[in-house]
Copies of this chain bind each other. A is one copy, B any other.
Amino acid sequence: MHKIPVGKDIMGANEETAAENRFFFDTHGIYVINLMSAPGAGKTSLLEATLRQIKDDYRVGVIEGDLVTTIDADRISAMGVPSYQITTGSVCHLDAQMVHNSLHGFDVTQFDLLVIENVGNLVCPAEFSLGEDLRVMVFSTVEGAEKPKKYPLMFHEADAVILNKMDLLPHSGVSFDELVRNVEDVNPNAPIFPVSCRTGDGVDVWVDWLRGIINPRSLSSAASAE
């Protein structure tokens, strides 16, 4: 009986901290992406493919969320992009307070664009706002066409849905049309980007769309600085 109020308190406190994060990011003109997916869907691979194309055009930094290890942050740092690792221990998602705490150790005011890669989990990350501007989810097509029905929240909350591992799709028996239909049933508004981070197919289309989202914001902050 006492579980519900505890849950409400936690979520309410998270929303407050997320609003503080958002105010901080807005004040410093930082566009923030929350990148979410199940484990192994290809968040870090998408991030690498995206950074290769945009890292010379934006001042970009990355916060990596993982239970343990610095494997992902090391991959990003190896590209010459500043990164900061949050290790959550046993917590299966990032929350706004973890992001807030990381800002004490990672000066994000040097960036135009901050990507926060969440812990790999198709459920809980979607429940915790971090103060981001854009929620992007990556889904591995070979996980099955019915997954948007079974795990609807993240699909519903996403501002963009990346369908990765398109190169494996022909070998998998998964129906692309059924998958897209199920994504659209849960979220009719988010654009869907089929990509293969491995071959690079489709990454251009996604990056072009992303530039269109970030640019007006960057231009307006550049204009207001004049």
Contact = CB atoms under 8 A, between A and B. Distances in A.
B92 A123 contact: yes
A123 B40 contact: no
* Chain A contact surface mostly: loop
A40 B147 contact: yes
A149 B167 CA distance: 26
A205 interface: no
A9 to B, nearest CB: 10
A30 to B, nearest CB: 27
Given A140-B40, A165-B142, A124 B172 contact: no
Contacts of A167: 171
Contacts of A121: 92, 121-123
A67 B168 contact: no
Contact of A90 (B71, B127, B147): B127
A121 to B, nearest CB: 6
Oligomeric state, in copies? 2
Given A92-B124, A120-B122, A66 B6 contact: no
A57 B187 CA distance: 44
Interface residues of A, number: 38
Interface of A: 6, 38-41, 66-69, 71-72, 90, 92, 119-124, 127, 140, 142-144, 146-147, 149-153, 165, 167-168, 171-173, 198
Given A40-B143, A92-B121, 15 more contacts: A38-B38, A38-B40, A38-B122, A39-B151, A67-B151, A67-B152, A69-B149, A71-B150, A90-B127, A92-B124, A142-B142, A142-B168, A168-B168, A168-B171, A168-B172
